[in-house]
Structure 1
């Protein structure tokens, strides 16, 4: 049975202020919860004005306090910037406040502008990613062994549940890392890299751990759905312009701006080359593509990214996806 989940980037939008975007993110979490979506994750990027937030742990706390059932988490914490111990403390506290509802997705991307990355790591050497994962598991599960450099150290608060740990990636290398450490693996298909090999490496090399005894995979897809294909194509024009000329636009543009933008020949060619990264269409067309990805990746969960400027149209997209997958007898909650 396949679960449906949500990934929120918090894109700034033409004509809107930051507070508007944060308010919409909160309303979207509540709305998708009512539709039966299983998780709601928020991403982390630094020093990029087009993103409305850069502290996923703060957003997780806020969103969890404004919902009641949906799991809320990071998609993800860019852990090379931080102490694994501090990340464990943050997410143990969140789990203590909202038991059974917190996810900790981690990644090794720098997640932002070069200058921001320098500022985040001023006078600090980037730690080894694999060691950080080991440390994080040790702190979360109280498995710091006697040979550890911080033997006896506990992550506070001491609680009887654990946030669900996921490793995020977009390459076969990340699949191998997730397998080695025995953690669930989420593949960012919307980045455009080929994930079949990554998921194969993850499943075939998986080593059971205290986190999970069997492989647990998820894919994240860009999905824009509307009642008609024509409407969906128009809605998708905003994101197509954003990814093609984002430096000039500075925010996710409106449908009107996107449809009237004077593309160069080179921009049109680039946009055409990237079209395959997005699932765009009416409910039947979108359903076909989602199921195709489920079967290709052999996963039991799909995380939906829906970069639509108009908020009501965005909510409608999530509604249509939930309804059509339910009709196909897929389960999107527990």
Structure 2
């Protein structure tokens, strides 16, 4: 079996608070650490009121201090919003406290236009994403290229180890950047409008890959939503909370929480929404542990993945803890 890891959005469940969501993420990370999952990544979402994960670096430091084995990562830092130099310093600080346990996942999604403006207010011309990633490599590896505009600049603290670098994406651009720089690649199968052929993208990444000082071979991780329960009926019931959340969060009206099972059942869905839900089902694996195992294996083979990253984005603290236990029983 290939390695399997967790990506957590820190959902705010109906009737709870953002603080409670973050404390639940802490508990879930500790459980994943105990069960033997390889990584635990946390997300960066801005102006999304139903999730509490907005600053992965801060949350990673807390989770790393509360665990002792599992790798902690960002899924991911949206690099166009930030200075590569500052990102390098943040992750060097994490690596200093928790050597060989830190992953730096990099994304390029601009998010909501208002968020993009607020995070980049009064900034002049911006670097290309490709250049930002190259700069990040320079600062994390202490590569003093003579032709770099800041060739003598060093990111501190200087430490003996460095985080694993991952490029996140669902299209060819991020995979090509990852291949050219010799980085790992995380294919976002869960992403909306993911019409591209994942196998074509990952095959192209592998063929283009150039070994670097930090990564000698191409490595692909495929990420997908999951809903797992003891029975197929229970899983389908829980999946309604995921269905309603996705419909809401990808609309113009941001929901304030992840809806409960009761809310999802009582509300129901229109015929048009049901069509959209069926389209979204390609982004999620739902069922019993054995059904989910089969679905994940199918996805891994489909995109030729070396590892899987699953997102348990559905209602309930206990439901999500149970899901990790059920998955670990059939996978780890």
- The residue that corresponds to 1:113 in the other structure is 112
Secondary structure of 1:64's counterpart equals helix
Following superposition of structure 1 onto structure 2, how do residues 267-278 of structure 1 map, counting pairs within 5 Å?
267-278=273-284
Secondary structure of 1:103's counterpart equals strand
> 2:171 & 2:324 partners in 1: Cα distance?
27
Structure 2: runs of 5 or more not aligned:
none
2:245 to 226, 232, 242: 242
> 1:295 & 1:172 partners in 2: Cα distance?
19
- The residue that corresponds to 1:16 in the other structure is 16
Following superposition of structure 1 onto structure 2, how do residues 134-173 of structure 1 map, counting pairs within 5 Å?
134-173=134-173
> 1:216 & 1:49 partners in 2: Cα distance?
33
Secondary structure of 2:75's counterpart equals strand
Q: Does 1:230 align with 2:233?
A: yes
Runs of 4+ in 1 over 4 A off after TM superposition: none
Following superposition of structure 1 onto structure 2, how do residues 29-68 of structure 1 map, counting pairs within 5 Å?
29-68=29-68
Secondary structure of 1:271's counterpart equals helix
- The residue that corresponds to 2:266 in the other structure is 260
1:189·1:221 contact (CA, 8 Å) conserved in 2?
Answer: yes
Instruction: State the 1:273 CA deviation.
Output: 2.3
1:4·1:322 contact (CA, 8 Å) conserved in 2?
Answer: no
1:26·1:63 contact (CA, 8 Å) conserved in 2?
Answer: yes
Instruction: State the 1:319 CA deviation.
Output: 1.2
Following superposition of structure 1 onto structure 2, how do residues 64-143 of structure 1 map, counting pairs within 5 Å?
64-110=64-110, 112-124=111-123, 125-143=125-143
Secondary structure of 1:26's counterpart equals helix
Structure 1: runs of 5 or more not aligned:
327-334
Secondary structure of 1:186's counterpart equals strand
Instruction: State the 1:265 CA deviation.
Output: 1.9
Instruction: State the 1:248 CA deviation.
Output: 6.8
Judge which range, 283-292 or 246-255, deviates more.
246-255
2:49·2:254 contact (CA, 8 Å) conserved in 1?
Answer: no
2:13·2:316 contact (CA, 8 Å) conserved in 1?
Answer: no
Instruction: State the 1:187 CA deviation.
Output: 0.8
Secondary structure of 2:76's counterpart equals strand
Secondary structure of 2:286's counterpart equals strand
Q: Does 1:307 align with 2:313?
A: yes
Give the structure-1-normalised TM-score: 0.94
Q: Does 1:207 align with 2:210?
A: yes
Judge which range, 288-297 or 264-273, deviates more.
264-273
The RMSD of aligned alpha carbons is 1.3
Instruction: State the 1:249 CA deviation.
Output: 4.2
Secondary structure of 1:224's counterpart equals strand
- The residue that corresponds to 2:220 in the other structure is 217
Secondary structure of 1:190's counterpart equals coil
1:78·1:109 contact (CA, 8 Å) conserved in 2?
Answer: yes
Count how many residue pairs are aligned between Structure 1 and Structure 2. Answer: 325
For residues 289 and 53 of structure 1, do their structure 2 counterparts lie closer, same or farther at Cα, with a shift above 3 Å needed? closer
What do the CA deviations read for 1:97-154 (whole angstroms, capped 9, x no partner)?
A: 11111111111111x3221210100111332111111111111111121111112111
- The residue that corresponds to 2:327 in the other structure is 321
- The residue that corresponds to 1:180 in the other structure is 180
